[in-house]
Amino acid sequence: MGCAGDGAPGPLGERDPHPLLPGHRAHEHRRRVTRVARGLVLALAAWLVAFAVHTAEPAGYDFIALYATARLVATGHGGEVTDPAAQFGMEHAILSERTVFLFDPNVPALALLMAPLGALPYTPAYAAMLTLGVAALLGAAALLAPLAAAEQRARLLPFALLAPPSLIALVEGQTTPFVLLALAASLRAPPFWSGALLGATALRPQLLPLFAIVALTRRGTAAGFAAALVAVATLSLAVAGVDGLARYPLLVSLAAEQLRPGELGLPALARRGLGPDAVLNAALTLAAAAIAAVVIVRRSRDVSSRTVDASPWSLLTAPHALLHDGVVAYPAIAAAATGTRATALWVGSSVVVALVQQAGVPLAPLWLLALALGPRRAIRP
């Protein structure tokens, strides 16, 4: 029998793991505490910035539309959540300075889920939504971290919370942080629940089609996805009724035809030159989605990899997607963080492109296309 230490030493990575040594256990504990504290400080910074910006001019942001439909449900008028006139009337009653109406294409089920917020006064409701949004971004960052190279993960946390798309989503009080959290969680979930989480993209209906294709490529995820859609449809029917649900497709089509500054999709980019015709919009959207679906299916075989690949493509093929929707591309950015240079390139360029896009120069679609076609780390199913 040999004594301890006999034989050739193995590679460094095969020696006793640090946690077995008391000194190293304390060091690892301090590192974990530091990481948690850093995340909480960044989360607090994001919360304070968003709250200060939003409360300076609350009538100018999307949350008023979400809050208005939630308040309709909370006050017993759920059947009117898909009625544009009722939506705008409630918005104006909440904040009289709200004079511009933008169609709210969210599913009626969302208004039901947000009804507890609709029962609160406006500012506390926004504060609650903001807190949930920051928590969703923080949770998504933790779930997406394994997609990046180990040494790059700490560098991505400030980006996840403070990048322009994140701050815009928080200021607007939008649902996109929750969509991102669902996508991130789907990467680690069993097939059925992975499909159900992909179905949560119904919170942003314009992003749903490509994730539907991803979910339907495997039987287990397809079952979960179908169950999620049935749940959303059932809740929507319960809150809006048959007549209210019948009005919903018109509301979605009106929202899809909007052409606002900062649009991220290729169909919107083409429409700026070709015109706003509704048939053209539908044709461009279908063509872009078909091309994207082929690229996604051919590039990878497992659902997790296809979900990451679909994250930028879902924005590129959407008939209507704005900068706050850009958080949905974070899985692809994390997977592209293969080294220091790649991380600096994608993170730095994304911030610059977002600012340029916000200024009215449509660079974001081209940047998203480069991200969608660029290299990334292999993803373990």
CA dihedral 80, 87, 323, 194 (to 10 degrees): -20
Using CA atoms, how far residue 163 sits from 91, 159, 194, 339, in Å, is 29, 5, 27, 19
Please report which confidence band the pLDDT of residue 25 belongs to, taking 50, 70 and 90 as the band edges. Answer: low
pLDDT at 381 over 60: no
pTM: 0.88
The tokens describing 41, both together, are: 């400080």
The tokens describing 116, both together, are: 């507890």
Using CA atoms, how far residue 58 sits from 42, 55, 71, 123, 173, in Å, is 23, 5, 16, 9, 10
pLDDT at 334: 95
For the segment 273-323, what is each residue's pLDDT rounded down to a tens digit?
Answer: 676 666 777 787 888 889 999 999 998 889 999 999 999 999 999 888 889
pLDDT at 102: 66
Is the Cβ–Cβ distance between 221 and 250 less than 8 Å? no
For the segment 50-83, what is each residue's pLDDT rounded down to a tens digit?
Answer: 999 999 999 889 999 999 999 999 999 989 999 9
Determine phi and psi for 145, rounding to 5 degrees.
-55, -40
Distance CA 39, CA 67 (A): 28
Using CA atoms, how far residue 291 sits from 107, 263, 278, 286, 317, in Å, is 27, 20, 20, 9, 9
pLDDT at 284: 79
pLDDT at 380: 64
pLDDT at 143 over 50: yes
**Selected residue with higher pLDDT from 136 and 24:** 136
Please report which confidence band the pLDDT of residue 360 belongs to, taking 50, 70 and 90 as the band edges. Answer: confident
Mean pLDDT of 170-175: 96
Distance CA 112, CA 272 (A): 36
Distance CA 271, CA 277 (A): 8
Name the percent of the chain lying above pLDDT 90: 60
Which residue is listed with tokens 């040494």? 151
**Selected residue with higher pLDDT from 253 and 160:** 160
Length of the chain, in residues? 381
pLDDT averaged over every residue in the chain = 87
Helix (H, G, I), strand (E, B) or coil at 139: helix
